[in-house]
Structure 1
Amino acid sequence: MLNRLLGMEDSQARWTSSSSNLVITPATEDALLHAEASIIASAKAAEEQDVMSTTTSAEPKLVLFADAAEAGQRLHADLAQVGARLVRAVLVGQWPYGVTLDIRADGHPLQHGSPITTPTLDPMPMLSAARCTEVLDKFAINIRTASVGVPTVSPEEPSAEPPAASKEAAPERLLPSVSVHQSATTAIARIGRMVIEGPAATVGFPRRTDAFHMLVLLSEHRQGLQRGTAYDLLWPEADPTIDRERFHGPLRELRGKLCRALGRPTSSGKIVIQRLASGYRLNPDLVTTDLWQIHDALTRAATATDPTTRHAALQAAVAAYTGPILNGSPYSWAETAARDLDQKITKALMQLADLETEPDAAITHLAAAIDIDPYAEHLYRAQMKLLAQHGRAAEIHKTYERLCEVLRALDTALRPASQTSDLYRRLTSTITPARPRPLKGLQNQERSRRHPA
C-alpha cells in the first residue's frame, strides 16, 4: 500500500517500523487484524461492565490506510461495529458502502469528477513521495528496495546468503479478507442441523446447550438481543446483576465456534457477534442463518409480482429449511418458534404445489408438507384432491390409509375428521367402483375353514 501511495508499484520496497505509533503490515489482512484487536481492546472493559463505550474524543484512536478492494466487506463490518469512535479508514479505490471521493494532486476532493464545495471537505494537505519518506524516517522506518525479481545484496554479504529481509519469518497465513463478491467467506448457521458451516470449518453443537439456544435467539432477534431478554427466556430464575456468567459463558462459547468456522482468531469474537445499542447481534456481513434465509425468501415471495419470481423465492425458502428445529428443547418459546417455522414451510410447499405445472412436482411438494406436519388433515385433503385430478386412485387410498395410521399411533380411538373421510369416499367413488364387500355368508364360511370346530 505504501509503495502504491508513493508511486513505487514497480519496486519491492519492504517497510518496517520500530515505533508504537505507526504499524506497517505486509498485507491488508494483517492490518485489519491489528485494527480489530485495537477495537476489541478498547471495548473490552466497557463490555465487562455491561455498558456501551462512551468514547467521545474528537479524533479516533486509530487511522487505517488500506486498499478498498482488499479490505472490502470485512472492513465494512469492523467500521459498523464502532463507527468513527475508534477507527477511521483512508481507503484507496472505489468504496461500495458509501461515497467515493477522488483527491486531486493539489488536495482538492472531487466527487464524480466535480469539485466539492462542502465546508467540511477542505483541501487536504498533500505530501510528495520524497517528503513522505522524510516523515516516515522520523518513525524509524527502514526501507530496503530492490527491482522486481532481483534481491538486493550488499557487498559485505556473501552472494549465497539471502538478504536480511528474506530471513524474517513469514507472517502467519490468514484467511483472505471478505470482499463484496466473496460470499464463500461468510459462515451460515444451520439451526435445523445444529451446525455452523464456514470457509475454514464446520462446527457442530453436540447437544442443545445454552450456546446453541443463544444462537437461535440471536437468529430470532435479528436486529439485536437484549441481555435481559435472554435471561427472561433462558434463565428466568437467575439475577442478571449477580449471575453475569450465566450469559457471558454461552456467549463466549458461541463466539468461539463462529470464529473457528470463519478461520478467525478467537479475539475476533466481538466482531462476529456485535454489541450495539439494540443489543447483541450476529454480524450480518460475516454470518447468516438458515432462519434468515427462509424469512428473506418468504418476504420476496410475498412481494413478487409474477409467478416465476414467486416460485423461485418459495423454492429458496424450502431449500433453506433443514428440518425441525429445537426438538426436545425445554423452553416454551422454543416450541412456539419451531411450530411457526414448520407452518411457514408447509404453507410455502402448498403455494409451490399451486404454482407447479407438472403434476408430479406438485404431488411431491404436498408429500413433503405432510412429512413436516403429519397431523394436518388439510394437507391430506389437498393431496387427495390433486391425486383425483390425475386419476391416481391407488395413491388416494394410500394417502388416506397413512392418515389413519398416524392417528391410530396417537390413540386407537382416533379417526379422520368427517370432512376428510367424506372427501375420501366421494373421490374414490368417482374414480373407481367402490370396492365390493365380501358377502356375510362367505365371511362366515371362510372363518369356519380357518377355525374348524
Structure 2
Amino acid sequence: MADGPAPEPDEAGVEQPLAPEISVLGPLTVSGITHSGHGPKVAALAALIHVRPGRTAEFLCTAMDPVNPWSTRTLQTRLSEIRSRLGAAPDGQPYLPRPKHGYSFHPDVTSDWRRFQDLATRGLADPQGGTEDLENALALLRGKPFEGRDFSWADAVQQEMISRIIDTAHTLAVRHTEGDQPDLDAARRAALRGLEIDETAEVLYRDWMNIEWGAGNTAGVRKAIARLQQVARTYDISLEPVTEQLIDLVLADRTAPSRAGRA
C-alpha cells in the first residue's frame, strides 16, 4: 500500500493532508505524479476527474482531446498510471476506485481548491473572526487557476474559481479598510493579490483607489486609476458607472473616502 506524504504546514499555516492533493490554484500539480513522460497528461486526467466527478469513460476520452478523442485503451492506460502513482488509502481502497457509476476519487483525495473553498466559506460567514481564514485562503494561491495550461473542460470551473478568489480578496480588502484600526497595508495586499489573478476586476480597483485615498496617497490613487484605464483600453472594456464616479471623487477629493464605490 502506498502511503501519502507526511503532513507539514504550508504557507497558509494549514497542515498538508496525508492523502494525495490535486493543486490547481496555479500550475497544475498532483501528489506523486511527475512532469516527465506522460506525467502532464496523467495529472490533467486526475484534475478532470476531480473537478468533474462521476463522468463516464466516453466523456473523459472526449474531454481530454475534443479534436482527437482518446481511445478506451489509452484512457485505461492513463487511469492505471494514476492508480499506480497514488496508491491506496488507509482503508485499503485505491485512491482512484474502479468505477460503479462514473469515475471519482476516494473521499480522502483533496485539492487546494477545496481547501480554499472551505476557508473562504468559513471566513465570509464570520465577519468578526473570519479574517484569518480569508488570509489563509488567499495564501493558497500560487498563480492563476490552471496557469500555463489550456483545458477546454476547465473553462467553467476556472471562471468559478476566479470569481470566488475576487470575492474573497474584495471582502478581505474591505474588512482591513474599515473599523477603528484599519490596516491599509493588509488591505492593499489583498486587493493587489486579487488583481494578480484577474487584472480586469473593477471592484478591486475601486478597493485600491479607496485604500490609497484613505491613506492620503495621491500618487497611489493615480497609479490605480492609470492601471485600470490601461486595462480598460487593452480589453476594450467600458467602466461601470460606480467606477467612473469614484474616479471623479478621488481626483477631486470632494468627500470622505469611507465606503465610496464599494458596491
Deviation, structure 1 residue 312: 3.1
Deviation, structure 1 residue 231: 3.4
Which residue in 2 is equivalent to 1:145? none
Which residue in 2 is equivalent to 1:254? 82
Which of residues 14, 22, 37 is equivalent to 1:189?
A: 22
Partner-residue secondary structure (3-state), 2:110: strand
Which residue in 2 is equivalent to 1:307? 128
Residue identity in the other structure for 1:248: Q
Deviation, structure 1 residue 328: 6.0
The answer on 1:341 being equivalent to 2:161 is: yes
Partner-residue secondary structure (3-state), 1:369: helix
Which whole-Å CA distance do the structure 2 matches of 1:400 and 1:208 have between them?
A: 43
Which whole-Å CA distance do the structure 1 matches of 2:196 and 2:144 have between them?
A: 11
- Within 5 Å, which residues of 2 pair with 1:272-287? 272-285=95-108, 287=109
Which of residues 219, 230, 237 is equivalent to 2:50?
A: 219
- Within 5 Å, which residues of 2 pair with 1:86-97? none
TM-score, with normalisation over the residues of structure 1? 0.45
Which of residues 233, 246, 262 is equivalent to 1:423?
A: 246
Does the C-alpha gap of structure 1 residues 422 and 282 become closer, same or farther in structure 2, counting only changes over 3 Å? same
- Within 5 Å, which residues of 2 pair with 1:100-139? none
More strand by share: 1
Whether the aligned pair in 2 keeps the contact of 1:301 and 1:313 (CA below 8 Å) is yes
Which whole-Å CA distance do the structure 1 matches of 2:200 and 2:154 have between them?
A: 20
Which residue in 2 is equivalent to 1:151? none
Which whole-Å CA distance do the structure 2 matches of 1:336 and 1:206 have between them?
A: 28
Which residue in 2 is equivalent to 1:359? 184
Which whole-Å CA distance do the structure 2 matches of 1:367 and 1:245 have between them?
A: 46
Which residue in 1 is equivalent to 2:120? 298
Which residue in 1 is equivalent to 2:34? 203
Q: Percent identity?
A: 22
Whether the aligned pair in 1 keeps the contact of 2:61 and 2:75 (CA below 8 Å) is yes
TM-score, with normalisation over the residues of structure 2? 0.73
Residues 197-241 of structure 1: per-residue CA shift (max 9 Å, x gap): 46xxx734689944232222222135x44324323533457789x
Deviation, structure 1 residue 341: 0.7
Q: What is the CA RMSD across the aligned residues, in angstroms?
A: 3.7
The list of structure 1 runs, each at least 4 consecutive aligned residues, that deviate by more than 4 angstroms after superposition, is 174-179, 205-209, 235-240, 327-331, 414-419
Greater RCO (Cα-Cα under 8 Å, separation 6 or more): 2
Which whole-Å CA distance do the structure 2 matches of 1:320 and 1:395 have between them?
A: 27
Partner-residue secondary structure (3-state), 2:98: strand
Which of residues 319, 323, 328 is equivalent to 2:143?
A: 323
Deviation, structure 1 residue 421: 3.7
Which residue in 2 is equivalent to 1:47? none
Deviation, structure 1 residue 279: 2.7
Which whole-Å CA distance do the structure 1 matches of 2:4 and 2:67 have between them?
A: 44
Residues 378-422 of structure 1: per-residue CA shift (max 9 Å, x gap): 3212221232223222111000111222334446xx675554344
Does the C-alpha gap of structure 1 residues 178 and 273 become closer, same or farther in structure 2, counting only changes over 3 Å? farther
Residue identity in the other structure for 2:211: L
Partner-residue secondary structure (3-state), 2:34: strand
Whether the aligned pair in 2 keeps the contact of 1:211 and 1:254 (CA below 8 Å) is yes
Whether the aligned pair in 2 keeps the contact of 1:404 and 1:415 (CA below 8 Å) is no
Runs of 5+ consecutive residues of structure 2 not aligned to the other structure: 8-14, 177-181, 256-263
Deviation, structure 1 residue 368: 1.1
Deviation, structure 1 residue 294: 1.7
Which residue in 1 is equivalent to 2:179? none
Residues 24-70 of structure 1: per-residue CA shift (max 9 Å, x gap): xxxxxxxxx4xxxxxxxxxxxxxxxxxxxxxxxxxxxxxxxxxxxxx
Residues 318-364 of structure 1: per-residue CA shift (max 9 Å, x gap): 22232223346554332222121111111111111222241211121
Residue identity in the other structure for 1:398: K
Does the C-alpha gap of structure 1 residues 366 and 184 become closer, same or farther in structure 2, counting only changes over 3 Å? closer
Which whole-Å CA distance do the structure 1 matches of 2:17 and 2:119 have between them?
A: 19
- Within 5 Å, which residues of 2 pair with 1:14-25? none
**Count of aligned pairs between the two proteins:** 240
Does the C-alpha gap of structure 1 residues 183 and 320 become closer, same or farther in structure 2, counting only changes over 3 Å? closer
Does the C-alpha gap of structure 1 residues 178 and 390 become closer, same or farther in structure 2, counting only changes over 3 Å? closer
The answer on 1:368 being equivalent to 2:188 is: no
Whether the aligned pair in 2 keeps the contact of 1:290 and 1:320 (CA below 8 Å) is yes
Does the C-alpha gap of structure 1 residues 227 and 377 become closer, same or farther in structure 2, counting only changes over 3 Å? same
Deviation, structure 1 residue 290: 1.1
Which whole-Å CA distance do the structure 2 matches of 1:368 and 1:187 have between them?
A: 27
- Within 5 Å, which residues of 2 pair with 1:156-167? none
Higher CA-based Rg:
1
Partner-residue secondary structure (3-state), 1:231: helix
Does the C-alpha gap of structure 1 residues 295 and 274 become closer, same or farther in structure 2, counting only changes over 3 Å? farther
Does the C-alpha gap of structure 1 residues 184 and 215 become closer, same or farther in structure 2, counting only changes over 3 Å? closer
Deviation, structure 1 residue 372: 1.3
Which of residues 227, 231, 253 is equivalent to 2:61?
A: 231
Partner-residue secondary structure (3-state), 1:189: strand
Does the C-alpha gap of structure 1 residues 299 and 230 become closer, same or farther in structure 2, counting only changes over 3 Å? farther
Which whole-Å CA distance do the structure 2 matches of 1:214 and 1:375 have between them?
A: 30
Residue identity in the other structure for 1:312: E
